[in-house]
Structures are given as C-alpha cells and as structure tokens.
Structure 1
Amino acid sequence: MIRIIKQVIFLVFLITQGSLAWPATQGTRPIQEIRIGYVPILSQLPLVVSYEDLGISNRSVKIIMTRFGSFNGLEAAMRVQAIDFASLPVITVLKMKINGIDVKIVGQCSAGGSRLVTRNKGGLKDIRGLLIGVPDLESNENLLLSLVFSPMDMRLGIEYKTIGISLGTVIEDYTGNRIDSMFMPEPFGTIIENRKIGFMAEGQKDVLTGKFLTVLTINSSFLNKNKNIVSACLESIVKACGFIEKDIKDLKAKQVSILQKKYFDYDEDIIASSLENRKGEISFTKFLPEKKEINRFSEEAVKMKILTHSVNLDDLLSLEIMKQAMEKK
C-alpha cells in the first residue's frame, strides 16, 4: 500500500510539473505509434521516466516500450525496424551505418554510469592478467579500456582480456568466477559492492567514469515521417532528465528508485544508493553528443578492427530537434 501511495504521489508530481507531451486530442483510439526499446541499466532511466508521463497522459500517440536483455538484442531489433527508437552504444550505431542501416543520432540522455569493479582492492595497473566482462565487445566500455590501458603498455588480448556478457547474467558470471572483473553499467557495480564481493578499481574516476557511452538513435524513415512524435519524445526525455536530477538532489533518488521497479526490477535501495552517490559519475544533463568524442571512439574502433572505416558524421547526426527540445525545458 505504501508503494502504491508513493507511485501515485510521483505521478501527481509529474502532472503538476506540466505535461511532458504535446496536448492530447479528443478520442480514445491512438492515431500514431512509436516503438521504443531499452535495456535495464541506469543510464536509460530517462526513457522509462519519460514514458510514465508521455505514454500515460497522451491519447493521440501509442507508445510501445520493449525491454531487451542486451544491447545485441536491441541492435538487432533496430536493424529490422522492430523498434523505432533506442539509446545505443555509439560504435554500434556507426557500424549499423556502415552496414547500410539508415539511422540517425538525435541526441543523448546521459553520461557515465559504468564502473570497473574488481575482486580485490587495487588500481588500474592491477588489472593486468585479468578477464574483464563488458556489455559487448563493440561497447564504448571495451573501447574505453583500450584507450586508457594502451598508454599504460597494457594491450588487449595480451596483458588483459575482455568478454561480452549479457546484462541478465553479469552477476551470475561474476559470482561464478567466469570473469575476474567487470566494466559494466550501473547498478551492477553497486550490487557487487553491496554483497561485499568486489571493489571499485582505484584511479578510474574521470578516466573511465563519467564518459560518453550511448546515443539516442532512430530509424531515419520513422524520423522523416513522424517528426512531431520525435519532437514530443525528445522534449519529454529532456524534462525527464531534469526530474531525475532534481529527485537525486532533493529526495536522494527515492521517487526514481520506486518508478524503475516496474521496468528494471532492481532493489529500490540499490538504485537510490547508486544514483545518490553518482556511481560511475552518472549524470543526466548532457543532450548533444560531440563530434570529437564520437570520432575518438570511431578511430579506436577502426584500430581494433571493429569498424572497417570512419563514418561521415554530417550524414549521421540530426540534432536540430533535440536543440529545440532543450530550449523548451
């Protein structure tokens, strides 16, 4: 009963703050539809917080939210246009573009939120010889490790190794000793710390954490035909980010930790602790990905033979709608 009351209070708060969507039209039958995919990690909270208002308060659009257990599944759905919109690792989006999948990057809704966690206390150099679990071998986490460790004379595949692991099995893989360490999105690091079976590697703050990881991606055909829906979604996401930041500051992330339960199903105390303490230097204040950051990862991906060549970013970035959404927040 207490949880239900809290959820009602949360929804009332959203309504009193003003609708995150455009005004609903009369009638009960949705006339437009958008399919949004997400994975259960904290950097994707803006998508589900936004849906709580946009999907409930607006009757002129039908929003279908689909949860995926991995970025691989999310990518596959985007490739076959089973979903229209998602937040994906930037290298995944670049590879899709190279493969002829017509998508656009329309913004970002978070930064940071991933941490390197090890079984024993130590620094980055103590990673030598370990097998590190990452969300995917094409993930920004894997590329960040290469960018940081290469200047330390620690080469991928020689001084350390990485393996892609599913979000649904990461805790089991860690506790079952199938990986020695992990560089994964929150809340997995907090879960490990809470069980007292791991430590945050020293020296990673602002080196591995707080970095640009995923981008808001949409199928180009959907964008071209439904700019009003995309505009409403981005406005909603921007305002959802503001709500999350305010909740962290004023209420120690209590409201967001309750809301995520329906979509992510993590323990509320774990989520509140992760957000309140900014684990992985997570933030929800940046909306425009920078070309230089995308190029940095692109160049490293080419070196690692994940990408065959670079991508013309002018043909990939479509940030005007996000800029307009930011002006309305």
Structure 2
Amino acid sequence: MKKAIILFVLSLTLGLLTACGNNSSSAETGQTVRIGYFPNINHVPAMVAKAEGFYQEQLGDDITIKYQTFADGGAFMNALKTGEIEAGLVGPGPAMNHYSNGTDVKIIGAGSTGGTVIMARNGSNIENLEDIKGKTFITPRVGCTHDVQFETYMKENGITSERIGGEMVHTTGKPATYESMFESGKVDVAVAPEPWASVLQLEADAEPIIDETEVSFGTTLPASVLATSGDLIEENPELVQSIVDAHKQATTYINENPEEAKTLAINEIAEVTGQELSKEVMDLAWDNIGFTYKVDAETIQAFGDSSYDLEFLKEEPDFSDLIDTQFIEE
C-alpha cells in the first residue's frame, strides 16, 4: 500500500513537472504577429521598426514577429483578408477599394505623404501634358494609389486613359522594373513611387513632368497607411495598440535620424529587390517624402470620390467607418 502511494505521488509530481514544462514551451513559442509592407521609400517606417526592434519592444518577447513584403496593394490586401498578415503598410487606394468591396479593413494610422512623381522617358518626345495623349504609362497596379493620383490629375486637364474612353494606354509593372521598361522603350511615362522616380531621373536620364507637389493629392494624401482588420481591433485592441505604438516610435526615429533611416532603407530595399540604391538616389527621393502617423480623413474621402469618378470603384464610397484613429490619438 505504501509503495503504491509513493508511486502515485511520484507519478503526480512528474505529471506536474511535465505540465509546467509544456506551459513554459507554450509561453516561449507565444503568438506570431505578421507585418506586411512594400520595399519602397513610402514604407520606411516598417523597415525602421523592423531593423530597430520597435515591434518586438512594443509587443514583448513572447511574441514572434514575422515580416512579409509585397509588390502591390492587391496582394497585400488579399493577405490581410485571408489572415496571412495581421497589419502593415499599404497604399490608401487598395485599402479603400477593398473596403468598398466588403473587405474587413481599418486604417489605423498614416505612414508617409508625397513620393509620387510622374517621369517621362528620355526620347519619348513628351514636353507637356498634351504630348502624353496616345502614349503608354505604367503604374504598379490598376487603381492603385499612384494610378488614381495620376489619372485624377490628367482628367482635370482633359486627358483620360483608354479604360474610360480616352487616349492614354495603361500598363502595369513593379516599380523596380521601370528603368528597364524605359530602356526598352515599352513605356513612355512612369507613375513612379519614390525612390524609383529618382532612379529614373539619375540613372535613366528621365525627366519629371509632374512632381510630387503638383500631382493630385500629392502633399495631403497619405502615400501609405497602417492597416489592420476590424476583427483584430475587436478581438485584441491591446495588440493593435502595440503595433501602432511601434509604428509611431519608428516615425519619430525617422524624423530625428534621417541619415540612419536612409541607410536602413537602402539596405532593406537591396535585400528585397536585389537593387542597391545609391546615396544620391536616396537623398533625392527623401526630399519628396514626409513621414507622419496622423491621417487626413477628409483627403482620403476626396481621394475615394475621385476613384469612383474614374470608375475604379463601382459605388460612391463612404469612408466614415474606414478610419479608426483611437490608437494614434495622443
């Protein structure tokens, strides 16, 4: 009887120790939070937050942080919709378009402003807006932020794309390929997010024909926004707040340490795209960008109205419930 009791106690003790070991392993594994962004200068806050460990600092050591880069907003939004990522930086255009089509997305902060420059290929004989008629222009994706900015500006000047009965020919492609597209003569105009506009200017002898302050919504529209899902906000607002806090921390770092941020951006873009930008390119591009986490809701609504006018959206948008500023308010 005594032997049986000893064996029972020993078994119970081992069981408790095993259970404690499992709990410890679970705590070490923890939750995984996946952050998405693009390898361009408008998304530098995500690069800085990654490199400086701000996400890890704000989320805690029991959280595993993973990062995923995207070539365009459609791919990012699909990843958010299917739960492949929890949050990240994307252009406002894709966020608005997918929200209008029923995707559960919330804009919880801004990432940057500016950075969209319209470049003409050397040899395209484009000297003014009228010369763009009949020419081929390239954007990262149909209806993306940069596309809407350019087509809004052109429509205000009486010129539209073939998609809506006009004369401009539209094609799409990754910004990192724009230089080769210019060299081959396949496109005449590039609607280029920085730093690719500066690459074209310095390395392909291209000319800016519409700068970042002139193009529609150029200085007021967030060039990138911090987005997540409404479900995550409802289920884990503390997690969302930590993500926003890391983003704010990165934005402050960028504005206080621009040279260090430029170096981080050069290294990250090289790692993702295989293209190492020169310091000269980065310096030129940096002058066309501003970094802020505050969202201008009125501009986003005006941008959405223009997207509808250009027929990228099927229904007139109402973005009053798209933006959630509770996490960025001081």
Q: TM-score range by the shorter chain?
A: 0.7 to 0.9
| Aligned residue in 2 for 1:11 | none
2:145 paired with 1:140: yes
Q: Against the structure 1 CA distance between its residues 222 and 264, is the aligned structure 2 distance closer, same or farther, given a 3 Å change threshold?
A: farther
Which of 253, 256, 259 in structure 2 is aligned with 1:246? 256
Contact 2:55–2:243, Cα closer than 8 Å, also in 1: no
2:229 paired with 1:219: yes
**Shift of residue 168, structure 1, vs aligned partner:** 5.0
Contact 1:107–1:289, Cα closer than 8 Å, also in 2: yes
Q: Partners of 2:212 and 2:70 in 1: how far apart?
A: 29
Count of aligned pairs between the two proteins: 295
Note the alpha carbon deviations across 1:109-144, whole angstroms, 9 max, x for none.
101112111124734443333211011111121111
| Aligned residue in 2 for 1:206 | 213
Note the alpha carbon deviations across 1:266-318, whole angstroms, 9 max, x for none.
4242xx3344334572111x322222211212112212221122333232111
| Aligned residue in 2 for 1:8 | none
Q: Partners of 2:318 and 2:308 in 1: how far apart?
A: 14
Q: Partners of 1:55 and 1:263 in 2: how far apart?
A: 19
Q: Partners of 2:261 and 2:55 in 1: how far apart?
A: 25
Contact 2:48–2:264, Cα closer than 8 Å, also in 1: no
| Aligned residue in 2 for 1:230 | 240
Q: Partners of 1:42 and 1:88 in 2: how far apart?
A: 12
Amino acid at match of 1:54: F
Bigger mean CA deviation after superposition, 174-183 or 303-312? 303-312
Identity of aligned residues (%): 17
2:194 paired with 1:186: yes
Q: Partners of 1:273 and 1:56 in 2: how far apart?
A: 32
TM-score, normalization: structure 2? 0.79
Contact 2:139–2:191, Cα closer than 8 Å, also in 1: yes
Contact 2:182–2:188, Cα closer than 8 Å, also in 1: yes
| Aligned residue in 1 for 2:61 | 59
**Shift of residue 225, structure 1, vs aligned partner:** 2.0
Calculate the aligned-residue CA RMSD, in Å. Answer: 2.7
Contact 1:89–1:214, Cα closer than 8 Å, also in 2: yes
Is there any run of 5+ residues in structure 1 with no aligned partner, and where? 1-26
Residue aligned with 1:110, SS: strand
Higher gyration radius (CA): 2
Contact 1:210–1:280, Cα closer than 8 Å, also in 2: no
Is there any run of 5+ residues in structure 2 with no aligned partner, and where? 1-25
Which of 114, 127, 132 in structure 1 is aligned with 2:132? 127
Q: Partners of 1:47 and 1:251 in 2: how far apart?
A: 14
Q: Partners of 2:190 and 2:82 in 1: how far apart?
A: 30
**Shift of residue 183, structure 1, vs aligned partner:** 0.6
2:71 paired with 1:36: no
**Shift of residue 260, structure 1, vs aligned partner:** 4.8
Contact 2:121–2:182, Cα closer than 8 Å, also in 1: no
Residue aligned with 1:102, SS: coil
Q: Against the structure 1 CA distance between its residues 30 and 318, is the aligned structure 2 distance closer, same or farther, given a 3 Å change threshold?
A: farther
Q: Partners of 1:37 and 1:265 in 2: how far apart?
A: 19
Which of 280, 283, 291 in structure 2 is aligned with 1:276? 283
